[in-house]
Structure 1
Amino acid sequence: MFDSEYDQKDGTNAFYDDWKEELQQQATLNREEFEGLDDESRAQYEGLRPGLYVRVQVNGMPCEFVEHFDPSYPIIIGGLLHSEQNIGYVNLRVKKHRWHKKILKSRDPLILSLGWRRFQTVVLYSIQDHNGRHRLLKYTPEHMHCDCTVWGPITPQGTGMLAVQTLAGNVPGFRVAATGVVLEQDKSMTIMKKLKLTGTPYKIYKRSAFIQGMFTSSLEVAKFEGSSLRTVSGIRGQIKKAVREGQPGSFRATFEDKIKLSDIAFVRTWYPVEVPQFYNPVTTLLLPPDEKTKWLGMKTLGQLKRERGVKATVNQDNLYKDVDRKARHFKPLTVPKDLQKNLPFKDKPKVVRKKKDEVQSGRIAVVREPKERKVAQLMGTVRKLHEAKLEQKKERMQKKVGEHHKRMGDREVEVEIKRKRRRKEVYREMGKKAAKGQKNLRKDQ
């Protein structure tokens, strides 16, 4: 029966056509029935029809809204539930808009459009680690979502959010900074920030050491008893108890190995960060029409410095400096005389007199036999004779080369004299021919 009444047959939609025709008949019947009644009585029977104008009266409106009312500016009227009228912590999942040029920074004011409200607040960005801890982020990730906690009106879960940094109309480029959605309401998320405490040892006893400069009181030391320490050189340790001597906050710690006074000990800790309770509604509807785009809320620290011409303070620790490390001079190894007696000969310290010639001092003295001395003397004499012959040969060659250069120089002088004589003869013959040609030319004329 269901298939025969509601299913389509032969490509026709009989049920839909019948249902539409029935609604049309009912609407025609209602219009004919209530056509003679006035609008007030008709609204009581069938409600407000589409296209009717409705007058809404709102009490307690500011006088600026009435004075600067602009009929051409659209106003959307909405309602709030009873639970949405409270102010508390709101957790959102946000992502920087792909067209926004800069990443967003924590503790910078943002203007949010959340539900029926527009307000300015200070946001804190965080990300959840694998152990469930919400770690504070200084900036928003580039292409990833992150959590955002704000102090503002309680908004139902799943409500969309849009954030901009300013409402000024003269801002170039794309203005939407981030988009997101509400995760939880009226629940303050514990956001943790990483902290590294450092201290220096002032007394060392084997594997124990007394460290100062890390804490300011014995109460702080008591909170961190049992925490793991580490030195810059990589030696691990543990905080034991506070000590009375030294600076306030000094404590005793034990390490795996003996540390040095030049070591620096540090502790990695986490501490909670409070979300600033700042909620500033956007009141652009109370401004004149020409000032609606000039609404200013809280300014960032960078904007205030630029307006007042204040330069950022330079932290000297952040500047690059030349590393000047002093050379460490270690004491020479001294072996006691009692111990030297028991050492084998190869391990005993050898006393060697220092000689002026370092090359000769590094050589081993060789004592030759009489025959070897005669052979060495003979070889030395032969070597000196050979060197003398080479020197004489070199002098003869230099003298021969000098004479050759002198002969070549005299020959070049003779060649130059002959060249000049030949050139003079050629020029004399050319002059005679030219004079003869001019003489013939005058005869012809």
Structure 2
Amino acid sequence: MIHVIPQPGFRVIATGTILDANQSTEVTKKLKLTGVPMKIYKKTAFVKDMFNSSLEVAKFEGAKIRTVSGIRGQIKKALNKPAGAFRATFEDKIMLSDIVFCRTWYKVDIPHLYNPVTSLLLPPEQKDTWTGMKTTGQLKRERGLQNQPQFDSMYTPIVRKPKTMTKLKIPKALQKELPYHMKPKFKAMEAKTQRVAVVRNEREEKVSSLMKMLRTNFTEKHSKERQAMKARMLTLKARVAAEEEAKNQRQRVMKKDIFRTLSKLDAAAEKRKAKGH
């Protein structure tokens, strides 16, 4: 008799080679630089308030920039004055009210910590009871500490500069071709006279109420008279149409009798003329 022994579980064994043991870690953070144009020449613009010095501009030469309206551009060269201003070119002409921004990455330095853990070398009874360093959250909960809110992460009211619109200038040649109602008017408009509010007394209120009732009564009476007149007109039109139809019928019968009599007289005259021959 053969006994089959179940095959115990197995695991795949793989081998590898360590190529590098570098402990350096690089962490970057998103950074958005903003600026505003100070002068515009067609598709070229001079931008300020994005950098603090010409050295910073030199590091970002050739970087891609974009306006809030979606017009893309590129940083060219730094300007002498003011510090941090630069020349940039765009796909299309931008406005002085546009905001130019550049998306980049900022390297964040991480402090290094070396803490060797030798828990695997402990005896089995000590290895199960060993606990590592407490986390920051555990320490804060034990001591009842709370994180202080960061000012940069809080919502603050947005302060925007008031936008001043330039006055519209129409060339004189174009003003001559415009119709009169579209031509600019330079004469100041006359102020309308303000009417003084009248406060009625008790007697005037009664008179006004009586006049309002009389006006309503007259309007209702006039409306009923107009409706009655419309009904009379419709009846009269129907009677006149019936009389006209009867008259036309009598005229048709009369014409028919006259033409029949004339045709008989013509036939009799033709017979007399034939007998005379």
TM-score normalized by the length of structure 1:
0.32
Higher strand share: 1
